[in-house]
A and B are shown apart, each in its own frame.
Chain A
């Protein structure tokens, strides 16, 4: 059995006495696709914040390969190979689709390196292939501000692909997408997994079923159940706190 890519053990986050995460443990293997579901306030986004360095855990171990993530800042963690897509699609509205992807492209990140940066033919082809992949080729020169909500979701997924991360954290990727787009996204994520590890947070159970992956159910900051979608849907505790409502 290979080393896990992501390893959370006994992670707690306390905000003013409120336990956003309560002794949470989670292991994600290399190439694994994992879906995380749970009611609002279950701690899904806080878990993403802890992994990406935005929030420091009050207690517990958070490791990415051999790196202790609790001691690193957001930029360092991103450069280790963890990419994140936000629940509310977040990109740079003043820049074009192409420029947004160019900024995300894996390349030296220092100010002088950026000043001297020249777009190579290879980089251009990579950006073009990702635009193709997320269906935004025709919008390359448009500012991100004028994209529809679904297109913004796609652009942010595209930015994630440009970063070429080893672990992708994807928060509600299909909110605001049509059924067809949702299917397309599921297929894309399944395809990405295998080469990389993908953790998807989603409310849409049809989408989670389409992913066909192992599912972790969070509730009140801790893991409630884990297994196949059928397993967790039939777990009485899950039905009680989440599905049964």
Chain B
């Protein structure tokens, strides 16, 4: 079934309409933090809750974009992208922990609370440098990129594709979850990192910090969308689609398929890592639960629901499924997992091109 689904055809309801809808959506999003500043009794006032949850969804949408680039175009169905997202989150989390400084419960000048508690005498070597923000952001991209590079190189070189690759990536995120649960890894064990105080001199949990992080996420979303569209519309994008549909034929045309897949997989992992780095300061916590296999699968479902191989569909899916989740987990929390599973089955059966397929005509 993977062969000929969801063609990245921009046909149907037209580039212009699509662009207008997108610009409208971005403008509405951009207005949210401003409307949050209005007095609470104003009709247009937007609550803190809406701003913070939308900011979180924007980072999910970036993750969905990253998955769509790898899956929708190159056919690499990663069920471990949550790991790249979580690693980016841990990188910025380490920076946030360092910024707490002596304000921790134990008041140690350099060591985070959990290290004092576990009897560390000094910072482990791999914590060095994380007191600098640019270094932490760099690591939020490089660590996921490097991991994707190593795993991807081994898998793609051995021509592991399809469901086998999905299982490997799923095992990867599960293994990382188990590793990060261990106290002696030096990443806070099952508690992870929390109690963050500030970022770039900005106290977190203030309205100013919320809107700054919100706008940073929105900018990253637009940047990632631009980058992914560039890849998708270039000849590289067409090579990736060709690899997705007939991998061995691409080899006989002289393309080194391993290199192309590796390129897109690493790029995708780096985007996911950056998304995670913007997610953690907004939710105020990162723990090994972010590596749980279910998270990665859920993110893939966003893309499937929205419509893969379209980029815009990934954004649509991330926002709509998460809106549904927020609503349903409030009114009927026990039903959420059934709803998610049912949604995936229903979309696969009835909407193979996702929600975006409802708006665009069948491909040429």
A197 within 8 A of B: no
Query: What B residues does A117 contact at CB under 8 A?
Result: 234-236
B158 within 8 A of A: no
Query: Which B residues from 260 to 279 make CB contacts under 8 A with A?
Result: 260, 263-264
Is the CB–CB distance between B245 and A94 below 8 Å? Answer: yes
A29 within 8 A of B: no
Bound CA span A76–B250, Å: 12
A148 within 8 A of B: no
Bound CA span A83–B260, Å: 20
Q: How many chain B residues touch the partner (CB < 8 A)? A: 32
Nearest CB of B to A126, in Å = 15
B19 within 8 A of A: no
Bound CA span A103–B253, Å: 8
Is the CB–CB distance between A111 and B254 below 8 Å? Answer: no
Bound CA span A155–B51, Å: 53
Chain A: interface size category: 35 or more
Is the CB–CB distance between A93 and B234 below 8 Å? Answer: no
B108 within 8 A of A: no
Is the CB–CB distance between A75 and B246 below 8 Å? Answer: no
Is the CB–CB distance between A111 and B263 below 8 Å? Answer: yes
- Max chain A C-beta neighbours (<10 A), residue from B3, B8, B253, B260: B253
A138 within 8 A of B: no
Q: Within the complex, which residue of A90, A91, A94, A111 is in contact with B4, where a contact is CB–CB below 8 Å?
A: A94
Bound CA span A141–B11, Å: 12
Query: What A residues does B230 contact at CB under 8 A?
Result: 115
Q: With A94-B7, A114-B239, A115-B234 as given contacts, are A75 and B364 in contact (CB-CB < 8 Å)?
A: no
B248 within 8 A of A: yes
Is the CB–CB distance between B231 and A163 below 8 Å? Answer: no
Bound CA span A52–B248, Å: 12
Is the CB–CB distance between A91 and B249 below 8 Å? Answer: yes
Bound CA span A88–B95, Å: 56
Q: Within the complex, which residue of A90, A92, A104, A115 is in contact with B241, where a contact is CB–CB below 8 Å?
A: A92
Q: Which chain A residue lies CB-closest to B244?
A: A94
Is the CB–CB distance between A99 and B364 below 8 Å? Answer: no
B259 within 8 A of A: yes
Is the CB–CB distance between A111 and B260 below 8 Å? Answer: yes
Bound CA span A75–B241, Å: 17
A110 within 8 A of B: yes
Nearest CB of B to A127, in Å = 12
Is the CB–CB distance between A79 and B245 below 8 Å? Answer: no
Bound CA span A79–B259, Å: 15
Bound CA span A84–B260, Å: 21
Q: Which chain B residue lies CB-closest to A165?
A: B254
Q: Within the complex, which residue of A54, A78, A95, A142 is in contact with B242, where a contact is CB–CB below 8 Å?
A: A95
Q: Which chain A residue lies CB-closest to B257?
A: A75
Nearest CB of A to B48, in Å = 41
Is the CB–CB distance between A73 and B246 below 8 Å? Answer: no
Query: What A residues does B241 contact at CB under 8 A?
Result: 92, 94-95
Q: Within the complex, which residue of A74, A83, A102, A115 is in contact with B251, where a contact is CB–CB below 8 Å?
A: A74
Q: Which chain B residue lies CB-closest to A143?
A: B364
Is the CB–CB distance between B251 and A92 below 8 Å? Answer: no
Report B12-41 CB contacts with A as 1/0, cut-off 8 Å: 000000000000000000000000000000
Q: With A74-B251, A78-B253 as given contacts, are A91 and B236 in contact (CB-CB < 8 Å)?
A: no
Is the CB–CB distance between A110 and B249 below 8 Å? Answer: no
Query: What A residues does B239 contact at CB under 8 A?
Result: 103, 111, 114
Is the CB–CB distance between A114 and B251 below 8 Å? Answer: no
Q: Which chain B residue lies CB-closest to A95?
A: B238
Bound CA span A74–B253, Å: 8
B350 within 8 A of A: no
Query: What B residues does A90 contact at CB under 8 A?
Result: 246, 249
A198 within 8 A of B: no
Is the CB–CB distance between A75 and B235 below 8 Å? Answer: no
B124 within 8 A of A: no
Bound CA span A114–B230, Å: 11
B252 within 8 A of A: yes
Is the CB–CB distance between B263 and A74 below 8 Å? Answer: no
Query: What B residues does A141 contact at CB under 8 A?
Result: 364
Q: With A115-B234, A142-B364, A145-B4 as given contacts, are A92 and B249 in contact (CB-CB < 8 Å)?
A: yes
Q: Which chain A residue lies CB-closest to B239?
A: A114
Is the CB–CB distance between B234 and A110 below 8 Å? Answer: no
Please give 13 more A-B residue pairs, beta carbons under 8 A apart, in addition to A103-B253, A109-B254.
A54-B248, A78-B251, A83-B252, A91-B249, A94-B7, A94-B8, A94-B245, A102-B238, A109-B255, A111-B236, A111-B263, A115-B230, A159-B253
**6 nearest interchain CB pairs?**
A78-B254, A114-B236, A111-B263, A74-B251, A117-B235, A79-B254
22 interchain pairs (CB within 8 A)?
A73-B251, A75-B251, A75-B254, A75-B255, A76-B254, A79-B254, A84-B252, A86-B249, A92-B241, A92-B249, A93-B245, A94-B7, A94-B245, A99-B238, A103-B239, A109-B255, A109-B256, A111-B236, A143-B364, A145-B4, A159-B253, A163-B253
